[in-house]
Amino acid sequence: MIDLGPHAVFIVSAYAGVTLAVVALIAWTLFDARRTASKMAALEARGIRRRSAGPAA
Amino acid sequence: MTTDTAPKPSFWYRLAHPGQFVALTRPWLWPLTLITVALFAVGLWFAFFNSPEDYQMGDTVRIMYIHVPTAWLSQFVYGLMAVSAIGSLVWRHPIADVSMKAAAPLGATFTALALFTGSLWGRPTWGTFWEWDGRMTSTLVLLLIYLGIVALWRAFDDQLRAARVIAVFTLVGAINIPIIKFSVDWWSTLHQPSSVFTMSGPHMPPSILTPLLVMAIAFTMLFLTLHLKAMHTEVARRRLMALQRQAAQTGKTA
C-alpha cells in the first residue's frame, strides 16, 4: 500500500464509506429481488397464476 | 393481414412490454457485472498505485476518484429519471414508470456519497467539512428531492397514479440540475469550477485524468447494472401485486 500522507484518515474514511454504501446497495438490490421472487413463488404454489398463463397444473 | 403476415414488432415496441423487456435484458446482467468489476479493479489500481499526488491537493486527490464519479452520477441518474418522466407522461410507457422508480434510491445513494466524499475532501483542503455555497447547497437540495421522490413512491398504493404525479414532480425538480452545473459560474463559491467537461478540454494531467475517467465509467456501469436488476424486480413486484389483486377477487387467500 502506498503512503497516503498526512491526510490518510480522510482518504481511507472516504473509500471505506463508499465501499460500505455500495456493498449495502448491492445487497439491498439482491435481497429485494429474492424477496419478490419468493413471494411470487409462494402465490403460484397456491395455484394463483396470471389468467394469461392458463390454469394451474 | 394474418398473424403470419403481420409485421414483426420493432425493438422499441417489444421493450415497452414489461415481460419482453425482462426477457431481452436479463442476459445483459452478467456481462455488465463482469465489466463493472474489471473497471473497478483497473480504476482502483490507478487510483492507489499508478497515479501521482497532485501538486496542490497532495494525496487527497485520490478522494476525487470517488467524489467526481458519484457527483456525476447524482446528476446523470436524475437526468435519466427526467427522460423516463417524459416517457411516462407523453407515451404512458410502462417501462418508463419502472425506470423512474428503480432509479430513485440509487440516485439518492450516489448523491449522499458525493456529499460525504466532498466533505471529507473539503476538511483537509478548505479547512471545513461544509459550506453553504451554491454547489454544495444545490446538491443537498438534489438529495432532498430524491428522498421526496422515494417517499412519494411509497405513499401511493396505485403505482400508475403515482407515476403521473411523480413524473410531474421529477420534471419540476429537474430545474435544479442546471443550477448545480452552473452554480460555480453564477456565484462566487468555495467549490472549484468544472475541470473535466470544459470548452477547452480537461484541465488536468493525463496521469490524474485517466483514473478519474476509469472510475467514472466503473461507477456508471455499476449504476446501469443495479438499475437493470432493480427494474427487473419492479416488473416482478407489479406482476405480484396484480396476482394478489386477482387472488383477492377470486377469493383465494394469498
Euclidean distance between the first and the last CA atom of chain B, given in angstroms as a whole number: 42
pLDDT of residue B203: 76
Contact: B66, A8; criterion CB under 8 Å: no
Contact: A50, B116; criterion CB under 8 Å: no
Contact: B121, A4; criterion CB under 8 Å: no
Which residues of chain B make contact with A51, given a CB cutoff of 8 A? 246
Which residues of chain A make contact with B232, given a CB cutoff of 8 A? 33
For B124-153, write each residue's pLDDT tens digit: 999 999 999 899 999 999 999 999 999 999
**Which of A7, A29, A50 has the CB atom closest to B60's CB atom?**
A7
* DSSP per-residue codes, B32-74: HHHHHHHHHHHHHHHHHHS-PPBTTTBTTHHHHHHHHHHHHHH
Distance, in Å, from the CA atom of B10 to the CA atom of A50, rounded to the nearest integer, reads 26
Which residues of chain A make contact with B106, given a CB cutoff of 8 A? 25
For B85-118, write each residue's pLDDT tens digit: 999 999 888 899 999 999 999 999 999 999 999 9
Please name the residue of chain A whose CA is at the shortest distance from the CA of residue B124. Answer: A7
Distance, in Å, from the CA atom of B105 to the CA atom of B189, rounded to the nearest integer, reads 29
pLDDT of residue A1: 56
Is residue A51 scored above 80 in pLDDT?
A: no
Q: How confident is the model at residue B252 (pLDDT cuts 50, 70, 90)?
A: low
B232 interfaces chain A, CB cutoff of 8 Å: yes
Contact: A17, B124; criterion CB under 8 Å: no
Is residue A53 scored above 70 in pLDDT?
A: no
pLDDT of residue A49: 76
Which residues of chain A make contact with B48, given a CB cutoff of 8 A? 1-2
Alpha helices in A1-57 (DSSP H): 8-45
Residue B207 phi/psi, 5-degree rounding, is -65, -25
Smallest CA–CA distance, residue B33 to chain A, in Å, is: 11
CA-based nearest residue to B81, from B21, B153, B180: B153
Contact: A32, B58; criterion CB under 8 Å: no
Distance, in Å, from the CA atom of B93 to the CA atom of B98, rounded to the nearest integer, reads 9
Is residue A57 scored above 50 in pLDDT?
A: no
Q: Which residues pair with B58 in a beta bridge?
A: B54
CB–CB contacts below 8 A, A to B = 97
Distance, in Å, from the CA atom of B133 to the CA atom of A55, rounded to the nearest integer, reads 62
pLDDT of residue B2: 56
pLDDT of residue B81: 98
A43 interfaces chain B, CB cutoff of 8 Å: yes
Return the ∠ at Cα B128 (arms to B124 and B133), rounded to 5°. 125
Is residue A44 scored above 90 in pLDDT?
A: no
**Residue type at position B75:** Q
For A10-41, write each residue's pLDDT tens digit: 999 999 999 999 999 999 999 999 999 999 99
**Which of B60, B226, B252 has the CB atom closest to A26's CB atom?**
B226
For B54-71, write each residue's pLDDT tens digit: 877 888 999 999 999 999
Residue B67 has which C-alpha cell? 467524489
**Average pLDDT for chain B:** 90
Lowest mean pLDDT among A42-51, B6-15, B168-177, B242-251: B6-15
Which residues of chain B make contact with A34, given a CB cutoff of 8 A? none
The arithmetic mean of pLDDT across residues B174-198, rounded, is 84
Is residue B3 scored above 70 in pLDDT?
A: no
CA-based nearest residue to B105, from B59, B150, B164: B150
Question: Are the C-beta atoms of residues B122 and B128 closer than 8 Å to each other?
Answer: yes
Question: Are the C-beta atoms of residues B99 and B107 closer than 8 Å to each other?
Answer: no
pLDDT of residue B31: 97
Residue B53 has which C-alpha cell? 499526488
Q: What is the pTM of this model?
A: 0.90
pLDDT of residue A52: 61
Distance, in Å, from the CA atom of B25 to the CA atom of B18, rounded to the nearest integer, reads 11
B101 interfaces chain A, CB cutoff of 8 Å: no
Decide if the complex's ipTM is over 0.90. Answer: no
Return the ∠ at Cα B87 (arms to B83 and B89), rounded to 5°. 115
- Give the best residue of A20, A23, A48 to mutate against chain B (max B CB count within 10 A): A48
**Residue type at position B236:** A
pLDDT of residue B58: 83
